[in-house]
Amino acid sequence: MLQLPFLQSTASCSARLQARPEEFDNVALRELSEFESDKAIKAINQLESADLSTIRNKGGFLIGIMTRLRRQAAGPRLPEEIQKRLDVFYRSGKLKATDLDAKIFDMLGGMPSSAACAALDKFATRDLRDIRNVSAFMISIIREVST
């Protein structure tokens, strides 16, 4: 078993996550063990905040979280105005860090700021309680605003 020194124990981690260690493949666990401690803890915290009962491939989901954390560490790719609006969503609880995938950030960064802000404003007015795939929903709004 891989040792994750930043966690008290892998068993206590899996208890907090309500998942068994064998639900995470060796690739995901090895990648997590190679992360810096602070980033690994952020990844685990994001994993904890997700509803794992709806996720079939927990290892793949963890790898996705780590990929997003690496991209965030690479520096901001979005104009400040757009990033500030997203930060408001995160702080208010409308979005969790795991809700949007990298494609959303690429799409928002690749469009004019006014259009991206219009998409985010429209997104802000929507009730997300019944939305199962927030990223797909956001893509539909971006496409609608872009046309």
Report pTM: 0.52
Q: Rounded to 5 degrees, what angle do the CA atoms 17, 19, 25 make?
A: 110
Residue 93 per-residue DSSP state: T
Q: Strands, DSSP E only, in 12-114?
A: none
Predicted confidence (pLDDT) per residue in 116-128, tens digit: 999 999 999 999 8
Query: How do residues 53-93 score in pLDDT, each as one tens digit?
Result: 888 888 888 888 888 787 676 555 788 899 889 989 988 88
Q: How far is CA 110 from CA 74, 78, 127, 142, in A?
A: 17, 9, 26, 11
Gap between the Cα atoms of 137 and 11, Å rounded: 36
